[in-house]
Amino acid sequence: RRQPVVSETLAARMRFVMEADRLKSVTRGTTIHDGSRRENSAEHSWHIMLWALTLQEHSTQPVRIERVLQMLLLHDLVEVDAGDNPIHGTFDAAAVAAQEQAAATRIFGLLPAVQSAPLRAIWDEFEAAASPDAIFAKSLDRAQPLTCNLATDGGSWRDYNVTRDQIETRVGVKVKRGAAAVWDALCPEIDAWFAANT
């Protein structure tokens, strides 16, 4: 067989997508809905992209769905190096942010510069919640784990002794900012669980 020449550009892109496979081994604080195992950050990313496509009409502000999908596709890639930090856990926010910045530099840096710069920019925009697209994307990233906990009788809320007030300040504020109607849809079940269990 002929040995075709593979450009360094394509080879670099292939190394990037191979490296990304490791996101499937980054486990989160929440489980999948049947409670059988911890969710990983790759399948979580897929799921909230489906939320975004399905629920785009319920964004608080108009969004460009193709940009939201790209943000969510990339948003957790840094966890390949930095791991996931459950929102109700205790961690040093500044240290985590520094780790994630270094991870973004390394991981997006695997790509040719023509591509690493725009992908890094869209990740930065997400991180900073710097646009309606990012605000909607972040609201879904916060809302989806709520449903994992509701589906498993409290799930990680029990692990971390979370209160209804903490849900409001750590999660509700951000979900409402990006997708107020989605928060309204989830609220009755959240209220009922905390009323019965705390």
Provide the binding-site residues for Ca ion, judged by CB under 5 A. 76
- State how far the Cα of 28 lies from the Cα of 107, in Å rounded to an integer: 20
Note whether 152 and 33 are within 8 A (CB): yes
* Other residues' Cβ atoms within 10 Å of the Cβ of residue 109: 12
DSSP string for 4-67 = PPPPHHHHHHHHHHHHHGGGGG-EEEEEPTTSSSEEEHHHHHHHHHHHHHHHGGG-SS---HHH
User: Which span sits near a second copy by CB under 8 A: 47-55, 88-96, 124-132, 155-163?
Assistant: 47-55
Which CB atom, from 140 or from 162, has the smaller least distance to a second copy? 140
Q: Each residue of 29-64: b (16+ CB within 10 Å) or e?
A: bbbbeeeeeebbbbebbebbbebbeebbebbbeebe
Site for a second copy (CB under 8 A): which residue of 28, 29, 30, 42? Answer: 42
Site for a second copy (CB under 8 A): which residue of 92, 153, 165, 184? Answer: 184
- State how far the Cα of 20 lies from the Cα of 17, in Å rounded to an integer: 5
- The least distance separating Ca ion from the CB of residue 112, rounded to whole angstroms, comes to 26
Per-residue interface string for the shown chain with a second copy, residues 81-110, x marking contact by CB under 8 A: ------------------------------
- State how far the Cα of 98 lies from the Cα of 82, in Å rounded to an integer: 9
- The least distance separating a second copy from the CB of residue 106, rounded to whole angstroms, comes to 16
Site for a second copy (CB under 8 A): which residue of 98, 109, 185, 197? Answer: 185
69 counts as binding a second copy under rule CB under 8 A? yes
197 counts as binding a second copy under rule CB under 8 A? no
Which CB atom, from 38 or from 96, has the smaller least distance to a second copy? 38
* Other residues' Cβ atoms within 10 Å of the Cβ of residue 129: 17
Residues that bind a second copy (CB under 8 A): 1, 3-4, 6-7, 10-11, 13-14, 16-18, 20-25, 32-34, 36, 39-40, 42-43, 45-47, 49-51, 53-55, 58, 65-66, 69-70, 73-74, 111, 115, 119, 147, 151, 181-182, 184-185, 187-188, 191
